[in-house]
Amino acid sequence: MDFTTIIYTVSERIATITLNRPAARNGFTLAMADELNAALNAAESDDYVRVVVVRAAGHHFCVGMDMNDDSTIGAVEDPLWDEPATRIARPIAELNKPVIVAIQGAAVGAGVSMTLPADFRLAADDARFGFVFARRGLFPEGGSLWFLPQLVGLGKAKEWMISGRIISAEEAFDAGLVTSIHPRDELWSAAETLAREIAEHVAPVSAAVIRRGLTAMAAWGSAEAAFAIDRQTIPYAFTSEDMTEGIASFLEKRPPRFRGVARNVVSRFPWLNTKRQEWPQQPWVNGAPASEEKQR
């Protein structure tokens, strides 16, 4: 599709998505939500891409909903309708590639909630965050009621969301929302450096299983779920070409040349499906619940 609110480029195995409404402080619109969704899906389907970087042009990352955009406002009765921030948060959560977000200036409302499923949030030293929904008579979006407590804990999530106050980059870093803080003029280069490191040295299949597995495991109440997963992933890893290449490159002191395609492998593991209604009641092995398999 032709993008009007974002820029999408691919280079050196990195897909870069740039929010591009700087005159409107990258105010969030329905068009932006759909274009971000399309760009994320394009990155997922492109086997050349190994890492996704999301950033924003101008002084601010995203100041939240653009109140001048009527298409973003209004309730929809269709039960299958996804509100705009979810159209970004869900594909990020289900992406089989690491996602890095570079944030400068304000990231407020949807501007911060849509970034929560990402793996890294790099912030400029002037970044500030706000879950301001309660101050606007709104409710949290983009799954942030689940993602934020996973990152910063329930107590901090309640404090930030109920008060709706603005949070500095330093406080966000201390709480675990932000991965690192950088001078504003070094933010994009820091994100690109991290992206290149992952693209060059990390096996795509491993990254996919790790990022999606960690999210899936957050819903289970004991380590037994992870043990059941290990019984599936480790036997696969021991017979994979990626493991052979990873060990060989280490012994030969050279960069690895991983060839595994993440989306061709993750379908082997049903627990990676993040749609709650399709999850098993307990971890399964070979298509059956682990307890039933053991009884057989």
**Domain locations in the chain?**
6-198, 202-295
Backbone angles phi, psi at 182, to 5 degrees: -135, 155
pLDDT mean across residues, the chain: 87
Which pLDDT value is given to residue 6? 98
- Cα end-to-end distance, the chain, whole Å: 51
User: Which pLDDT band, with edges at 50, 70 and 90, does 273 fall under?
Assistant: low
More confident residue, 273 or 287: 273
Highest mean pLDDT, choosing among 60-69, 111-120, 258-267: 111-120
More confidently predicted of 280 and 11: 11
Q: How confident is the model at residue 277 (pLDDT cuts 50, 70, 90)?
A: very low
Instruction: Kindly report, residue by residue over 213-257, the tens digit of the pLDDT.
Output: 898 888 776 777 778 777 778 888 888 888 888 889 989 999 899
CATH code for the domain defined by 6-198: 3.90.226.10
pLDDT at 129: 98
pLDDT for the residue 110: 94
State the SS3 of 170-217: HHHHHHCCCCEEECHHHHHHHHHHHHHHHHHHCCHHHHHHHHHHHHHH
Separation of alpha carbons 178 and 201, rounded Å = 23
Share of the chain above pLDDT 70, in %: 87
pLDDT of residue 267 exceeding 80, the answer is no
Q: Is the pLDDT of residue 93 over 80?
A: yes
Q: What is the mean pLDDT of residues 90-96?
A: 95
210 contacts: CB under 8 Å, gap ≥ 6: none
Q: How many CB atoms lie within 10 A of CB 9?
A: 11
The answer to whether residue 282 scores a pLDDT higher than 50 is: no
What is the per-residue pLDDT for 102? Answer: 98
- Does the structure show a pLDDT above 90 at 78? no
Phi/psi of residue 90, nearest 5 degrees: -65, -50
Specify the pLDDT at position 138. 87
Q: Write the pLDDT tens digit of every residue in 126-178.
A: 999 999 999 988 899 999 999 999 999 999 999 999 999 999 999 999 999 99
Q: Spell out the residues 6+ positions from residue 205 whose beta carbon is closer than 8 angstroms to its own.
A: 240, 242, 258, 260, 261, 262, 265, 266
What is the structure's pLDDT at 261?
84
